[in-house]
Structure 1
């Protein structure tokens, strides 16, 4: 197995890291949905971050999973919320491009170019971990559908022009489908959804009140929940990596701080306590990173990776949270202040334990893949 990066991958990694360290780290402390860093996001779009998973014919980069992971990890060094937003848009356009028709693909191309924005709306107020039990419905009409329901905790909702809405189509197969909706449509109301961190992610609620849409809004006759789950088997590793990117940036900053800061006549880095603590968390971050990239390598090779994705999704964000917390404490009162940004980073990575499935769900998946579906404690 090859653990090294190609020259192209090293160049991409370096390009994103240099930009993030110069333009994001330390600059993002006051960013939020109102004071959104449009200039930075536009720069990232110009660098191809909204086309990581689209083919070149769509204006995308066509990166395989590992190279895309390098981009997400480096973006996570700077701002987890901004990376969440980019990943969400990328997942939506990937599904729309792969399963949609000409109109849908045109929307994906415009999002890739930064001309418009899209959100991926699956989660509902009463259906988080049990995402297959959707309450949002699409009722067929003579010339389309009528959508009704509510989506919550949707990344990018307050910033999006389009929504990829998953809903249960009534009648017939009574199955879940995906619908590409203009969010300016009558009957759509979008409200911010306040959270603990990730202020620039555009987190919001989408209220859908008898919205009439044409038949061509449906992107495919395939079950959209299955589409989403196939995507999550990669996105869970990408989430792990950008959480680890935040952890690694915290470790790097802490190493510098421990070297520069003196106590009782010596640098803090000369004391065994800080040395060991830093060494322990760097080891855990490295181990979690390897599992995430192994998952993506398997995905790129077409090998089964559902179990690996679930493992890395529950483990890496937990490691990231504990690492950033440790770095905050090692900075003393400076870490607890707003000046260093470590507190903000801690709030941001906390949410990644929930994104794309809480750790309890991920462990159920690992158990299912280990023991078999017949040993599940619920009927699926």
Structure 2
């Protein structure tokens, strides 16, 4: 392929050379092309309809700064469809029937998790060399959306494994991966990501938990808070300060550790009774003179902050997928109800006020799905996806809340009643604007990444 430039340049498609046509022909607006092919596009590159149709027929071609490159296709592979259908059947047949009961009791859904693990719906992202399926981020997102459609409380309990494992996948030694990832493919074990503290949520650099090296061990003291799977995990990823100097930059002040949950000195607190996602296990954890062997340090002392933050580029797309799954469920429930409920002699879906609200909900869900798929695809290509991951996480989290609230509105009084499913969806949705980086933190990241493109 040759690289297109301004009008009159030649591009080669399927071994056929075509000229970019002059402005006398019908020109496809750049904004439309940019939406269909979400890559950067040179402002001087104009495409005629004829060339556009040829490019579209290839399905995997896009423009990037004036060059033709391969891009992603929205058509799923047969394998992806199989995983999606497997997760969908499991969600409908196993999760939805018991979701309300688990929400009322707050009981940890281990029987459901065990069944999901047996089907390969848990830990699929673990590399094949350590016993996993080695699924891509995109593939994992497809599964996550389907499970979240049924119950985000159960899905979050499952997804917490991904967050806890990701630092080990990204930064663990071969021995660490074999020991801690390999065993999770042999039995349904859980893990957790221990970073947040009572005084350090969004401000990760404010972490107070200390790890002091003593011989061949590190002695840890401190308290963590809001740890998903905190009381059910078999091991933790722990971020602790190893540099006493408060002026030391975060990039050098913290170290990442793998900590076995049965290590003496670890004291899980009580399970928190939260607004939503109630069957997910969330609690504080106290570390009192906990001794960790130096072999459990990830990479080296001082590398922990980068490891902990780097995990989010891989885990925020699935979080966005979970929010999208919840939003899709809310839309489906509201649509079915609107077609059945009658007022003034006709279904409320036939009233423009309701039909337009459903249309807005549908638009939001589709765009949230596109956002998480783009962010996952970028990461799977080996590219830094921080910008897209934060966009997906922020947008899908907001959409989940908006669509769930609109679903309650369409249900009217019934939507406010726990006998109907949408009030649970509304409660469950809120956390998507809080965990794994608040909606405000995502906007800080997006602004930083966006402005950085112009300030180079």
Structure 1 length normalisation: TM-score?
0.93
- Tell me the CA shift for residue 50 of structure 1: 2.6
Aligned to 2:273: 194
Q: Does 1:108 align with 2:181?
A: yes
Kindly tell me the number of residue pairs found equivalent between the two proteins: 375
> Could you tell me how far apart the structure 1 residues matched to 2:454 and 2:366 are?
35
Aligned to 1:56: 128
Aligned to 1:21: 92
- Tell me the CA shift for residue 374 of structure 1: 12
Q: Deviations over 1:267-305 (max 9, x none)?
A: 122211111100111101111210111111111112332
| Contact map agreement 1:45 1:113 (CA 8 A) in 2 | no
Q: Deviations over 1:349-379 (max 9, x none)?
A: 100111111111111111111223999xxxx
Q: Does 1:347 align with 2:427?
A: yes
- Specify the SS of the correspondent of 1:116: coil
Aligned to 1:284: 364
Structure 2 gaps of 5+ residues are 1-70
Aligned to 1:148: 221
Aligned to 2:144: 72
| Residues 1:324 and 1:171: Cα distance change in structure 2 (over 3 Å) | closer
> Could you tell me how far apart the structure 2 residues matched to 1:84 and 1:100 are?
27
> Could you tell me how far apart the structure 1 residues matched to 2:95 and 2:217 are?
44
> Could you tell me how far apart the structure 1 residues matched to 2:331 and 2:412 are?
14
- Specify the SS of the correspondent of 1:18: helix
Aligned to 1:378: none
RMSD: 2.1
- Tell me the CA shift for residue 72 of structure 1: 0.8
Aligned to 2:321: 241
- Tell me the CA shift for residue 242 of structure 1: 0.5
- Tell me the CA shift for residue 103 of structure 1: 4.7
Aligned to 1:203: 282
Q: Deviations over 1:167-225 (max 9, x none)?
A: 11246986311212122222211012332111122111011111122222223216122
- Tell me the CA shift for residue 34 of structure 1: 5.5
> Could you tell me how far apart the structure 2 residues matched to 1:299 and 1:373 are?
19
Q: Does 1:81 align with 2:81?
A: no
Q: Does 1:369 align with 2:442?
A: no
| Contact map agreement 1:138 1:147 (CA 8 A) in 2 | yes
- Specify the SS of the correspondent of 2:239: strand
- Tell me the CA shift for residue 23 of structure 1: 1.6
| Contact map agreement 1:52 1:90 (CA 8 A) in 2 | no
- Specify the SS of the correspondent of 1:289: helix
Structure 1 gaps of 5+ residues are 376-380
> Could you tell me how far apart the structure 1 residues matched to 2:121 and 2:349 are?
37
Higher RCO (Cα < 8 Å, 6 or more apart): 1
